[in-house]
Amino acid sequence: MKRVVVTGLGAITPLGNTVESFWQQILAGKSGVGPITKFDASKFKTQFASEVKDFNAETFLDKKEIKKYDVFTQYAIASSDQAITDSGLDFSTMTDDQLAEVGVIWATGNGGIGTFEAQLEEFHAGDGTPRFSPFFIPKMIVDIAAGVISIRHRLRGPNYCTVSACASSNTAIINAFDTIRLGKAAIMIAGGSEAAITKSSVGGFNAAQALSKNNDDPQGASRPFDVDRDGFVMGEGAGALILEELEHAVSRGAHIYAEIVGGGMAGDAYHLTGTPPDGVGAGLGMTSALKDAGIAADQIDYINAHATSTGLGDLSELQAINRVFKDLPVVIGATKSMTGHLLGAAGAIESVISILAIRDGIIPPTINTKNLDENIPKGLNIVLGEPIKKEINYVLNNTFGFGGHTASTIFKKYKA
């Protein structure tokens, strides 16, 4: 099968709206969390989130377009445009046949939930007469970001959306990887976006007992593996990758960040929202990714853990890691401690982090974790507090979602 490399990156995040500004904040151990500004959260159990800041859609969309697109689609356009520019690709110079070799697989967990919520509020505030915007459905549906990216650049290759809750964008990246290595496309734009800091979303996750309620210390609320963790912190944003068939990338002299070499997916088959204590699905997904990459567990240098800061979830994942990587010196980190949990976009933005860790030979810290849970398996090497300089040849990136979905990707330092 064909080899697949990463030639472009894009990021819209709570810690910066370019890849490099985001990366520098991550290495500095900064938190993107603060009080919710998108609505009045004073009556909610959780009153903070990790919001994107200083985002101006008018820098890349005209006002008519902005009205057509939910914020999750705006984030998708911004991050994918960044990645395309970063890759050096110019789709305007390509023939129709060449554009048929370029596709988009874009992920989201919640899609246009803000649009859905606002439209229903407007309807219920009226006299019952159904006055709905003609843009309501195309703004709301989860596949629309993939479609808009395709339309924007006249890309006629495979085009669809993946939805597997918080595993969605890792699933998109794996599917894009498979599409190229099977010869069904030469270039794929893959990633995910989320804009779910809304009343219904925060209220719903509160009802499910999933969110941290540490309103007194929002920036310290996301504390993976800590004995006092009390739930995840809602985040938003987008991450984008340009995946490209190796020979195609080399022939045009593209800068290559890394190679993607493996992807594994599995199911917990356990519970609607909970994870099994032994992390069976997570273990199967990681093992599948290793097999797909054709490498042994001892070749992985860094695991970017899913690690949302939930009581059962963190322990479940670490039990799975312990089973697959037992007694190996692999370093485990949890960058959601800084970004919050970007839900369906988490896998994409954490893939960006994983790739930059390979590029710069540095593992980002896990912040806020003061007292490790005593139930964590002994001997695991969790990076806390400060980044670690280390040559990194292979990174494993984990994502897991409600419904028992698990997806793990493996990136490798590129060698010609």
Catalytic residues, by residue number, are 166
DSSP 376: S
- Asked whether 44 and 205 are in contact (CB, 8 A), the reply is no
* Closest by Cα among 397, 258, 398 to 316: 398
| Token representation of residue 68 | 């057509």
Which among 275, 366, 377, 372 is positioned nearest to 322, based on CA atoms?
Answer: 377
CA 205 remoteness from chain centre = 18
End-to-end CA distance of the chain: 17
**Single-letter code of the amino acid located at 159:** N
Q: Which amino acid appears at position 210 of this protein?
A: A
Query: 206, exposed or middle or buried, with CB in 10 Å at 0-12, 13-18, 19+?
Result: middle
| Long-range pairs, 320-325, Cβ under 8 A, ≥24 | 320/278, 320/279, 320/280, 320/282, 320/283, 320/286, 321/279, 321/282, 321/286, 321/380, 322/377, 322/379, 322/380, 323/278, 323/279, 323/283, 324/283, 324/286, 324/287, 324/290, 324/297, 325/297, 325/300
The tokens for 151 are 């339309």
Please spell the DSSP secondary structure of 339-357, one letter per residue.
H-B-GGGHHHHHHHHHHHH
